[in-house]
Amino acid sequence: MQTHEISRRFREYFTDHGHTPVPSASLILEDPNLLFVNAGMVQFKPYFLGDAPAPWPRATSIQKCVRTGDIDEVGKTTRHNTFFQMAGNFSFGDYFKAQAIEHAWALLTNSQSEGGYGFDPDRLWATVYTDDDEALDLWKKIAGLPEERIQRRDGKDNYWDMGIPGPGGPCSEIYYDRGPEHGREGGPVADEDRYLEVWNLVFMQDVRGELSPKEGHKPIGSLPRRNIDTGMGIERVAALLQGVDNVYETDLVRPVIAKAEEMSGRRYGAGNPVDDVRFRVIADHARSGMMIIGDGVTPGNEARGYVLRRLLRRIVRSVRLLGVQEPVLGEFAAVVRDTMSPSYPELATDFPRIESIMRKEEETFLATLASGSRIFDLAADRLVDDGKATLPGDKAFQLHDTYGFPIDLTLEMAAERGLSVDETGFRELMAEQRARAKADAASRKTGHGDQSVYRELLAQGNTVFTGYEELTTEAKVIGLVRDGKRLSGAGEGEILEVILDRTPLYAEAGGQESDAGTITTASGAVLEVVDVQKIARKLWVHQVRVRSGEITEGAEVEARVDPEWRVGARQGHSGTHVVHAALRQVLGPTALQSGSYNKPGYLRLDFAWSGALSPETKSEIEEVSNLAVRQDLPVQVVYTDMGGAQELGAVALFGETYDETVRVVEIGGPWSRELCGGTHVEHSSQIGPISLLGESSVGSGSRRLEAYVGMDAMRYLAKERALVQNLAAMLKVPDVEVPARVEALVDRLRNAERELEKLRAGQLLSSAGTLAEQAEDVRGTALVALKVPDGIGGGDLRNLAVEVRNRLGARPGVVALFSAGDGGKVAFVVATTAAARDAGLAAGKLVPAFAPAIEARGGGKPDLAQGGGANAGGIGEAVTALRRALDGA
C-alpha cells in the first residue's frame, strides 16, 4: 500500500466516524518551547490546556513533524528520522479510552477491502502504563488480546507530557511483531527492533507539576476535561505494509536514495555500511530540508536557520564522500517534490523558491569547504614543520564550529597527509557545546502559567471585534484582571487589564501594532488603552491606565479608537501589502514575505533573498509601490475557507495559524492578495507616498526593507531635501551637482591619504638602517628588539622587520618589533635571518618566550612570526624576556 493511500485511509476512517479533518499546521508555530512542530497534537495545545474551547468535539489530522535532537544519529540506524508524518485522532472532552482503543484496533485490523490496513491481529501487542488496569482490561475486552500480549511499562515509556508543567497522561502503545528474523521473543520490553511501535494512544487526564510522572512523580491534579491524543507513524506503517525493512526503503524515501545512487555510481545495501549511512542521511535530510524551507525557514546561524543549514550541509558532505563533486541539492529537491507533492501540493507550486534557497546554500557551503581546506592545509603544514603527526582536537573543533568544516572531511584530509586527528578531544568539545545548547534550550522552556482567569471569561463568550466597521463601540466590561486575578474595580492611576464583550480596538497581530484609544464610562471614568492583545485568538485583553474616575466589572462603557492612529495604522499595513506585491513583481514570486511589522507611518518587511539589492532594484520597488498608490487601486475583503483562498492565489504568511474561515485582502484584485486580519484603507491612494528607507541583512538568506508611508514619508523626504539644499549651499553648486562635487572631494581625500601613507611608509622604512646599527650581540646573535612608534599596523610592522633583517646581512640575527595600539593593544613581528635559523632560532618558536608579558597570541613560520597582544604596558618586559631566552639558548 502506497504511503499517500495510507494517509487517505486514515483521514477517511476518522472523518466517517465524526472527526473534523484539520489540515497539517505549519512546521513553524509561535511556541517558545519548540523550534519545529514535533507531534500531531501541537496545533491543538490550546484546547488540551483549556486556554480556548475546541471548535469541534473531535478532530483528525496528518501532521508534518520534524525532530532534530539526534541529527548526528540519523543514518547510523534505520530508526532515526528528522521528518515524519504523524496521523492523529483527537477528542476534546468527548470520547476517552474505550473508543480510542476501538478506533485504533478497527483501522489497523480491518481488511484492506473494508478500508482498513489489514494487519494480522495475532501479530499485534499492546503496552500500558504501570498501574493502568483500565486500559489493560479494555485491550482484552475490545481487541481480544490475551494478557501475555499486553505489557506494563513505567513512565519513561508509557507516560506522556510536554516536558514542562502542563497536561499529561498515561499512554498505551500498539506494536507489530515483525518475526523472529528481526530479533528475540518477549514483546516490546524485550526487543523494539522486532516489535515495532505503530500507534500511540495518550489518555490525557492529568496536570503535571515541575516534576514529571515520567520520573515516577505524582501528577498535581486532573484536567477539567479528559482528552484523547493518539498518533500513528505514517512512515513506519508504510514500511510494514510495503514489506520493506525500514522507512528508507518506502515509496517516498527510496527514490531519493536512487537519485544518489545514479549520481555516485555506488549502490545502497551493497555491503558497505559506511556508504549506507551516507545514503540514508541524504534521503532523510533532503525531505526535512525541503519541508522546512517550504514553511518559510532560510538557512542561518541561529535557531531554526542553523538546524536547516546543518541538514543541507550534511547532504552535501555525504554526497562528496560518495565521490560526487558537482552541485546536488537541486536534483534531490526535484525528487522530493515529485514524491511528496500529492500530499503537500505547495511543494510543487513553491518549488522555484525552495530550490533557489537550497542551491544558494550549497554554493555557500562549497565556498566554505574551499576556505576550510586552506585553513586545514596551513594547520597541517605547521604540524609537519614542528615534527608532529596529530591535529589537536581544538583545531578540528575550530574547523567544524567556526568554519563549518565537517569532522569526517577533516579525518579524510588528515589521512591523505599521513596525519591523525585527536578525535577524543574533538568529541569532548562537541559534547560541551551540546550541553550548553541543551541548557540554553531548557532555560527558554516555560510552563503554561495559570490561565484560569481567562478561561472563565472565555466561557462567557468570545469578544466581538467591531473595528472593521466602526471606531466607537458601546460595550460591557466582562472582566477586570491584574496579575492573573479578577478585580471588582479599579481607580485613578491603576494599571490593569480590561476585557470587553465588544471592541473596535485592534489587537496586535499579523505584524500590526495594536490600536491606541480610550475606554470611557457614563460616570466620567477615562481609561487610556496602551496595548491590546488576544488570548487564544478569541478574547481581546486591553491593558489600560485609569486616567480618572473608577471602572467596575459589569460597567457599560464606550470603547473608542484614536482616529488619527487608525489612519496611520491602515496606511502602514496596506503599505506593507503594496511593498510586498511590488517586491514580488520586481524580484519574482520567490521573494516571499517571512515577517513584518507596521505601525502608523512606518513599515518593515522581511523576505527570503540571498543577496543585497542594488540601488536600481530598490528604486524600482519604490516606483512600482508608488505607481500602485497613484492608480488608486480598490481594496476589497473576501471571506472564504483556506481552499478558496488557495484557489484565489492568496499569499499566506509563514508560521501563521488561520481559522476555518479566512479573510483575504485584495489590492487591485489579483495584483496583491494576502490572508490578513489587519485594518486597511479603502483605496490604495489613501496610503499616501511610500519612501524606502533602506534594505539590510537580518541573517543569511533573509533581507529587510523599511519604509515610511503617508505624512511620515513626506516628512522624511522634506528632511532629505533640506539636507541636499544645505550641502548645495556649502559647496556653492546647484542641487543637481551635489553628488558629482561630493564624489570629486572624496576622490581628492583618498588620493591625499594614499600620498600620506606612502610618505609615512617611506619614513618608516628609512629608519631600518638605523635600527640595524643598534643591534646588540647576544651570544653571537645580532638582536634588534624594541618598541617602535605607536599605531603602526601589522603590515607596516612586518615590512619594517623584514627590511631590518635584510640589513643584518649574513650573520645570525633576530628582529622583534613591538607597537602599541588603541586600548592597550600591541602588535608584534619577529623575523630571523637564514643564519639564525641554521642555528636553531625559529621565529615562531621564539614567540612563547615573551608572549605572557604582553598577553599575546600568534605565531608563524621559522622565518617570520607575527601576532597581537592585550597588554602594551608589558612591551619592556617582553623585550627583556626575549633577550634572556637568546642568552640561555
Model pLDDT, residue 75: 78
Query: Looking at the predicted structure, is the pLDDT value of residue 712 above 60?
Result: yes
| Euclidean distance between CA atoms 342 and 5, whole angstroms | 10
Which single residue is written with the C-alpha cell 559534547? Answer: 431
Model pLDDT, residue 708: 96
Model pLDDT, residue 122: 96
Classify residue 675 as exposed, middle or buried by CB count within 10 Å of its CB (0-12, 13-18, 19+): buried
Question: According to the annotation, is 80 in a ligand binding site?
Answer: no
Partners of 814 in beta bridges:
783, 832
Model pLDDT, residue 29: 80
DSSP 300-348: -SSHHHHHHHHHHHHHHHHHHHTT--S--HHHHHHHHHHHHTTT-THHH
Q: Which residues have CB under 8 Å from 257's CB, separation 6+?
A: 248, 268, 279, 280, 282, 283
Say if residues 481 and 487 touch (Cβ distance below 8 Å).
yes
* Domain topology for 566-719: Threonyl-tRNA Synthetase; Chain A, domain 2 (3.30.980)
Q: Which residues have CB under 8 Å from 301's CB, separation 6+?
A: 309, 699, 700
For residue 440, the tally of other CB atoms under 10 A from its CB is 9
| Euclidean distance between CA atoms 101 and 614, whole angstroms | 61
Q: Kindly indicate the confidence band of residue 253, based on its pLDDT and cuts at 50, 70 and 90.
A: very high
Question: According to the annotation, is 680 in a ligand binding site?
Answer: yes
Instruction: Pull the grid cell for residue 264.
Output: 555516485
CA 407, distance to chain mean position in Å, is: 23
The three-state secondary structure class of 131 is coil
pLDDT average, residue stretch 620-636: 96
Q: Which residues have CB under 8 Å from 181's CB, separation 6+?
A: none
Kindly report the average pLDDT of the chain as a whole number: 89
What proportion of the chain, given as a percentage, has pLDDT over 90?
59
Classify residue 727 as exposed, middle or buried by CB count within 10 Å of its CB (0-12, 13-18, 19+): middle
What proportion of the chain, given as a percentage, has pLDDT over 70?
94
Name the E strands within 93-153: 124-129, 150-153
Query: Looking at the predicted structure, is the pLDDT value of residue 443 above 60?
Result: no
Higher model confidence: residue 358 or residue 756? Answer: 358
| Euclidean distance between CA atoms 664 and 677, whole angstroms | 8
Q: Which residues have CB under 8 Å from 443's CB, separation 6+?
A: none
| Euclidean distance between CA atoms 188 and 173, whole angstroms | 10
Q: Which residues have CB under 8 Å from 796's CB, separation 6+?
A: 760, 761, 764
Quick one: which of 477, 660, 532, 486 has its CA closest to 54?
A: 660
* Domain topology for 456-561: Elongation Factor Tu (Ef-tu); domain 3 (2.40.30)
| Euclidean distance between CA atoms 870 and 571, whole angstroms | 53
Model pLDDT, residue 252: 95
Quick one: which of 553, 557, 556 has its CA closest to 490?
A: 553
| Euclidean distance between CA atoms 432 and 434, whole angstroms | 5
| Euclidean distance between CA atoms 365 and 357, whole angstroms | 12
| Euclidean distance between CA atoms 46 and 657, whole angstroms | 12
Instruction: Give domain 3-249's CATH architecture.
Output: 2-Layer Sandwich (3.30)
Model pLDDT, residue 117: 97
Least confident of 115-124, 152-161, 315-324, 692-701: 692-701
Most confident of 32-41, 321-330, 648-657, 791-800: 321-330
| Euclidean distance between CA atoms 77 and 248, whole angstroms | 10
Higher model confidence: residue 480 or residue 458? Answer: 480
Least confident of 31-35, 189-193, 725-729: 31-35
Instruction: State the DSSP code for 480.
Output: E
Q: Kindly indicate the confidence band of residue 698, based on its pLDDT and cuts at 50, 70 and 90.
A: confident
Q: Kindly indicate the confidence band of residue 638, based on its pLDDT and cuts at 50, 70 and 90.
A: very high
The C-alpha angle with vertex 838 and arms to 836 and 843, in degrees rounded to 5, equals: 50
| Euclidean distance between CA atoms 125 and 140, whole angstroms | 11
pLDDT average, residue stretch 278-288: 95
Say if residues 328 and 319 touch (Cβ distance below 8 Å).
yes
The three-state secondary structure class of 173 is strand
CATH 3.40.630.30 is the classification of domain 773-887:
no
Partners of 160 in beta bridges:
169
Classify residue 802 as exposed, middle or buried by CB count within 10 Å of its CB (0-12, 13-18, 19+): middle
Q: Which residues have CB under 8 Å from 578's CB, separation 6+?
A: 625, 628, 629, 667, 672, 684, 687, 690
pLDDT average, residue stretch 26-33: 77
Model pLDDT, residue 666: 96
Rg (CA), the chain: 34
Question: According to the annotation, is 676 in a ligand binding site?
Answer: yes
CA 154, distance to chain mean position in Å, is: 35
Q: What is the pLDDT of residues 532-576, one digit of tens each?
A: 999 877 899 999 999 999 999 999 999 999 999 999 999 999 999
pLDDT average, residue stretch 709-738: 91
Model pLDDT, residue 502: 95
Question: According to the annotation, is 217 in a ligand binding site?
Answer: no
Q: Kindly indicate the confidence band of residue 175, based on its pLDDT and cuts at 50, 70 and 90.
A: very high
pLDDT average, residue stretch 707-723: 93
Query: Looking at the predicted structure, is the pLDDT value of residue 80 above 50?
Result: yes
Model pLDDT, residue 702: 82
Query: Looking at the predicted structure, is the pLDDT value of residue 449 above 60?
Result: no
Higher model confidence: residue 97 or residue 437? Answer: 97
Element (H, E) at 41: none
| Euclidean distance between CA atoms 618 and 695, whole angstroms | 8
Model pLDDT, residue 445: 47
For 353, phi then psi, to 5°, come to -65, -45
| Euclidean distance between CA atoms 860 and 846, whole angstroms | 10
Quick one: which of 651, 592, 586 has its CA closest to 613?
A: 586
Instruction: Pull the grid cell for residue 653.
Output: 504568511
For 259, phi then psi, to 5°, come to -65, -40
Q: Kindly indicate the confidence band of residue 156, based on its pLDDT and cuts at 50, 70 and 90.
A: very high
Q: What is the pLDDT of residues 803-842, one digit of tens each?
A: 999 999 899 999 999 999 888 899 999 999 999 999 989 9
Taking the domains of the chain in order of start, what are their residue ranges? Answer: 3-249, 252-364, 456-561, 566-719, 733-766, 773-887
For 616, phi then psi, to 5°, come to -65, -40
| Euclidean distance between CA atoms 547 and 615, whole angstroms | 49
Question: What is the longest distance spanned by two Cα atoms in the chain?
Answer: 103
| Euclidean distance between CA atoms 831 and 61, whole angstroms | 71
Model pLDDT, residue 329: 95
Which single residue is written with the C-alpha cell 481594496? Answer: 635
Instruction: State the DSSP code for 775.
Output: -
Say if residues 535 and 569 touch (Cβ distance below 8 Å).
no
Instruction: Pull the grid cell for residue 509.
Output: 497581530
| Euclidean distance between CA atoms 529 and 548, whole angstroms | 13
Q: Kindly indicate the confidence band of residue 224, based on its pLDDT and cuts at 50, 70 and 90.
A: confident
Which single residue is written with the C-alpha cell 481480544? Answer: 144
Q: Kindly indicate the confidence band of residue 448, based on its pLDDT and cuts at 50, 70 and 90.
A: very low
| Euclidean distance between CA atoms 431 and 429, whole angstroms | 5
Query: Looking at the predicted structure, is the pLDDT value of residue 783 above 90?
Result: yes
Q: What is the pLDDT of residues 139-151, one digit of tens each?
A: 999 999 999 999 9
For 161, phi then psi, to 5°, come to -150, 180
Least confident of 8-12, 367-371, 633-637, 730-734: 367-371
CA 775, distance to chain mean position in Å, is: 59
Q: What is the pLDDT of residues 309-334, one digit of tens each?
A: 889 988 998 998 899 989 999 999 99
Model pLDDT, residue 447: 46
Model pLDDT, residue 444: 45
Model pLDDT, residue 399: 80
The C-alpha angle with vertex 343 and arms to 337 and 345, in degrees rounded to 5, equals: 55
For 311, phi then psi, to 5°, come to -60, -50
Model pLDDT, residue 761: 62
The three-state secondary structure class of 682 is coil
